[in-house]
Structure 1
Amino acid sequence: MRTVVIYKSKTGFTKKYAQWIAEELSADIFDISKVTINMVTAYDIIIYGGSLYAVGINGVGLITKNIDKLKDKKIVVFATGASPPRDSVISEVKGKNFTLDQQKYIKFFYLRGGFNYSKLNTFDKFLMTLLKWKIKNKKKEELTTDEIGMLAVYDKPVDFTRKKNIDEIITYVNSIMEKS
């Protein structure tokens, strides 16, 4: 089965996972800026990865807006974020990015990425600075675990990517290939 990995990466964490996945599956790999939906429909298995941005998956519209053209394909979407994987985070991301109907066709995975303020563009740096100020103005006892973690890594890059994090995706895709 022809497999493609497509990704959109702002700071490199999603790209790293996409490269590992493509390597493990001997799949073609493209940055989202290099693909059209007509190219994508030539594949049997489509894996899309994007970083989280206010719970939205960057670039996932390529998949969601074209779901009717992709329903006969096997679709995997993974998102990367700095937060540890938790069921509540995963449910929120799925609910915000995919309708219940789309979820029937899309297998979703969350992979922990990282945070690197210096790699953000000017607009994203501005938004992150506003968020930092908002969090810093909260009372200490009101801070969530994620907010405490964000403040701790704000000024120093952190990378939580690990190749073993792709194991579930590789196992899932390999099981699809074995069935065909």
Structure 2
Amino acid sequence: MKKIAVVYQSNYGSTERYARWLAEELGADCYNAAKVRPDVVQDVPIIAYGGGLYAGGINGVSFLTRRPDRFQGKTLVVFTVGLNPVRDAAASTAILEQNFPPAMRDQVRLFHLNGALDCGKLNLLHRMMMKGLHGVLAKKKVEELTENDRMILNAYEKPVDFTDRKALRPVVDALKELERAAEAR
């Protein structure tokens, strides 16, 4: 029996790319959360879930949280994918609190990965959000712009892709460690 399953929800492809790379690296099965029933992964002790990060919300995370009893006793490794890197513990804690009920939080190990952006491929809502953000950032003085601000302004003008298979290494290492521990039991 496999110890790890990879499940993802992807709007524009970056999360799916990471999920497929992760499944390949681990020899795990990979499932699109929108197309698989949660009972398919019922017997797998470790679930790696990937979703895009939009305003602090993890895309499709309801796959895990809608019926948390289905995932009781499992280890959940969650990776988010977004244009802005999440680098501090406070931001990670806020994401965890926003997306998971208190009873599930101890089960979750959270990782963040950089994605891609092609404004021409965004849906209407995301295009409007990017236009608004671009407008706010474009009004800032050049010396007030952060590195992330400049990255977003550039991404608005032309597609950018920060996906990197090597960035998965901490996720892979954590999952392999969890797999070894599960096999030892």
User: In the alignment, which residue of structure 2 is the partner of 1:172?
Assistant: 174
SS at match of 1:104: helix
User: In the alignment, which residue of structure 1 is the partner of 2:106?
Assistant: 104
Deviations, residues 74-111 of structure 1 (Å, cap 9, x unaligned): 21110011123411543332232234432201111111
Q: Which runs of 5+ in 2 are unaligned?
A: none
8 Å CA contact retained: 2:3, 2:179: no
Structure 1: how far apart are the matches of 2:72 and 2:154?
42
User: In the alignment, which residue of structure 2 is the partner of 1:48?
Assistant: 49
Q: Against the structure 1 CA distance between its residues 89 and 154, is the aligned structure 2 distance closer, same or farther, given a 3 Å change threshold? A: farther
Runs of 4+ in 1 over 6 A off after TM superposition: none
Equivalent position amino acid for 1:42 in 2: D
8 Å CA contact retained: 2:119, 2:155: no
**Structure 1 range deviating more: 36-45 or 22-31:** 36-45
State the superposition RMSD in angstroms.
1.9
Q: Which runs of 5+ in 1 are unaligned?
A: none
Structure 1: how far apart are the matches of 2:58 and 2:96?
9
Equivalent position amino acid for 1:154 in 2: Y
Q: Against the structure 1 CA distance between its residues 98 and 175, is the aligned structure 2 distance closer, same or farther, given a 3 Å change threshold? A: same
1:95 aligns with 2:119: no
SS at match of 2:103: helix
**Structure 1 range deviating more: 74-83 or 1-10:** 1-10
1:10-21 pair list within 5 angstroms: 10-21=11-22
Number of positions where the alignment pairs a residue of Structure 1 with one of Structure 2 = 180
8 Å CA contact retained: 1:37, 1:66: no
Structure 2: how far apart are the matches of 1:62 and 1:69?
10
8 Å CA contact retained: 2:116, 2:161: yes
